[in-house]
């Protein structure tokens, strides 16, 4: 086999060729070992202690040297931290919300709509704000020089999109359902299918980058990145809902996923309170 | 008002370059602008190795100390200062921004990286700046938040872990460690 597994390694590292038929990959843990680590950490979790991912999460091997070891310093936001950058129509073209456009021909895969609302921690819509997404194609391949998964690139699909939320905090993308893909966290490691989301609120403190998963994906329980969110309800909120009312006849399936940002600190302006 | 539980963060992963960087992302002002400075540094991991797949976001007040609320960061027109920029690290873990010195104590810096499960907030303080946060930190910790002047501007290294681990902030209304 000439193929190499998809890599989550640093760009400077060498990705060794992997024979998928080989019983094990030297130096890498097995799924069984990683699953046991995931289970042990989940077992020690006390409900309600955090809804965010644990930064120190050894089952995700790349986190070991990249998480702060000291407690985050509780700080009152000041100055610019109480505001978010503003994006507008000059920043984002409406066509950027349709990832199936812009190429010759149609991308391969399950055409889907993903839509939802961006809300702040008090349930207010986040209006006219930037949402950015990126994802693998239907075969589980990213258009990125470091993705060496031996699955085809799709000449009709780049996998990036942007939009501004509407006055109700709503966003909507048309895309192709991404495939799962292998990575080198451990032997035979596969990421569940996901779409990366980057979202701004009305304050810097609400800045969020996360991943949306798909309902019923059997890879989620095996995946150390999603499992780093220890609170089961919080993990469940990362999973979109299939919505048949969004599904368009003979065109696209529909998924709904709402995003809730942290609460704000600044006293809301009149313009924030409308509606 | 009852709080709705927030959506959890997840790592940006290794492929964010596909979507997040953009032309002109690190140039809040065009190079050569009178008064422009370079804010640059290196992101390090706990082994002291540079992190080649991190992304920094800069968000700052303008040279008058005002928080800018104008669009145009993604498609810069060359004259509007928006106060926002992005810079991915290179193979050597290095990043740089071309910007103006804010009339404020600090630049707000948000750090993302493969291997980092949620974004981190920190501040790059201007030399000589003081405030309550700096005042309550031990000198060693305080030093991690100070941008150091050099011949082209300011240097601000980020240590995700290790002896010189950067002070990272939580603004959570719930407070406490994460």
Rounded CA separation B105/A66 (Å): 27
Query: Which of A51, A85, A160 comes nearest B5 by C-beta?
Result: A51
Q: What pLDDT does A266 receive?
A: 80
Q: What pLDDT does B172 receive?
A: 79
Q: What pLDDT does A139 receive?
A: 97
Kindly list the residues from chain B whose CB atom is less than 8 angstroms away from the CB atom of residue A55.
Answer: 116-118, 178
SS3 state of residue A43: helix
Kindly report the number of other CB atoms within 10 A of residue B161's CB atom: 21
> Cα dihedral sign for A228, A232, A238, A240?
positive
Q: What pLDDT does A51 receive?
A: 75
Pick the residue from chain A with its C-alpha nearest to B65.
Answer: A79
Query: Which of A132, A146, A234 comes nearest B8 by C-beta?
Result: A234
Alpha-helical runs (H) found in chain B: 132-136, 139-143
Catalytic residue, chosen from A57, A60, A142, A171, is: A142
Q: What pLDDT does B12 receive?
A: 98
Question: Does the annotation mark A181 as catalytic?
Answer: yes
Q: What pLDDT does A25 receive?
A: 66
Residue A256, Cβ density class (10 Å: 0-12 exposed, 13-18 middle, ≥19 buried): middle
Q: What pLDDT does A269 receive?
A: 58
Residues with pLDDT less than 50, chain B: 1-2, 175-178
Rounded CA separation A153/A171 (Å): 27
Q: What pLDDT does A268 receive?
A: 58
Q: What pLDDT does A254 receive?
A: 98
Contact B178 A8 (CB under 8 A): no
Pick the residue from chain A with its C-alpha nearest to B161.
Answer: A68
SS3 state of residue B133: helix
Across the 275 residues of chain A, what is the mean pLDDT of every consecutive 10-residue run?
Answer: 39 40 70 98 80 94 98 96 97 98 96 98 95 98 91 96 98 98 97 98 97 98 98 96 98 98 77 46
Rounded CA separation A92/B17 (Å): 18
Contact A10 B114 (CB under 8 A): yes
Of A64, A63, A65, whose CA–CA distance to B116 is shortest? A63
Kindly list the residues from chain A whose CB atom is less than 8 angstroms away from the CB atom of residue B53.
Answer: 10-11
Question: Does the annotation mark A196 as catalytic?
Answer: yes
Confidence (pTM): 0.92
Catalytic residue, chosen from A172, A196, A207, A256, is: A196
Of B165, B41, B96, whose CA–CA distance to A55 is shortest? B165
Rounded CA separation A189/B139 (Å): 43
């Amino acid at each position: 086999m000439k193929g190499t597994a998809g890599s989550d390694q640093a760009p400077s590292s060498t990705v060794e060729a992997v024979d998928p038929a080989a019983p094990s990959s030297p130096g890498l843990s097995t799924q069984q070992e990683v699953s046991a680590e995931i289970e042990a950490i989940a077992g020690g979790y006390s409900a309600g202690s955090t809804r965010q991912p644990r930064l120190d999460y050894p089952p995700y091997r790349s986190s070991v040297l990249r998480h702060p070891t000291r407690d985050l310093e509780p700080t009152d936001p000041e100055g610019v931290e109480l505001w978010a950058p503003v994006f507008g129509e000059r920043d984002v073209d409406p066509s950027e919300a349709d990832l199936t456009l812009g190429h010759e021909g149609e991308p391969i895969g399950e055409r889907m709509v993903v839509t939802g609302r961006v809300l702040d921690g008090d349930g207010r819509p986040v209006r006219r704000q930037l949402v950015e997404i990126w994802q693998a194609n239907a075969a589980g391949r990213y258009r990125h020089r470091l993705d060496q998964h031996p699955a085809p690139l799709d000449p009709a699909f780049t996998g990036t999109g942007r939009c501004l939320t509407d006055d109700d905090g709503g966003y909507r993308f048309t895309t192709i359902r991404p495939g799962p893909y292998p990575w080198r966290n451990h032997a035979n490691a596969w990421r569940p299918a996901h779409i990366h989301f980057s979202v701004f609120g009305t304050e810097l403190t609400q800045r969020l980058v996360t991943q949306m998963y798909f309902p019923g994906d059997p890879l989620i329980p095996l995946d150390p990145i999603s499992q780093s969110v220890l609170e089961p309800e919080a993990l469940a909120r990362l999973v979109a809902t299939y919505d048949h009312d969004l599904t368009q006849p003979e065109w696209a399936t529909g998924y709904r996923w709402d995003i809730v940002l942290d609460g704000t600190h600044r006293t809301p302006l009149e313009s924030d309170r409308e509606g | 008002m009852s709080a709705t539980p927030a959506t959890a963060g997840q790592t940006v992963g290794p492929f964010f370059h596909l979507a997040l960087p953009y032309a002109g992302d690190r140039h809040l002002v065009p190079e050569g602008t009178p008064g422009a400075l370079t804010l640059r540094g290196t992101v390090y991991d706990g082994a002291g190795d540079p992190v080649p797949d991190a992304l920094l976001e800069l968000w700052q007040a303008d040279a008058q100390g005002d928080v800018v609320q104008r669009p145009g960061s993604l498609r810069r027109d060359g004259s509007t200062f928006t106060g926002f920029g992005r810079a991915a690290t290179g193979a050597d873990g290095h990043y740089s921004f071309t910007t103006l010195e804010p009339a404020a104590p600090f630049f707000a810096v948000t750090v993302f990286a493969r291997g980092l499960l949620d974004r981190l907030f920190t501040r790059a303080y201007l030399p000589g700046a003081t405030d309550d946060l700096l005042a309550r930190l031990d000198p060693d910790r305080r030093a991690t938040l100070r941008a150091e002047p050099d011949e082209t501007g300011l240097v601000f290294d980020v240590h995700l872990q290790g002896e010189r681990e950067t002070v990272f902030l939580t603004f959570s209304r719930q407070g406490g460690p994460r």
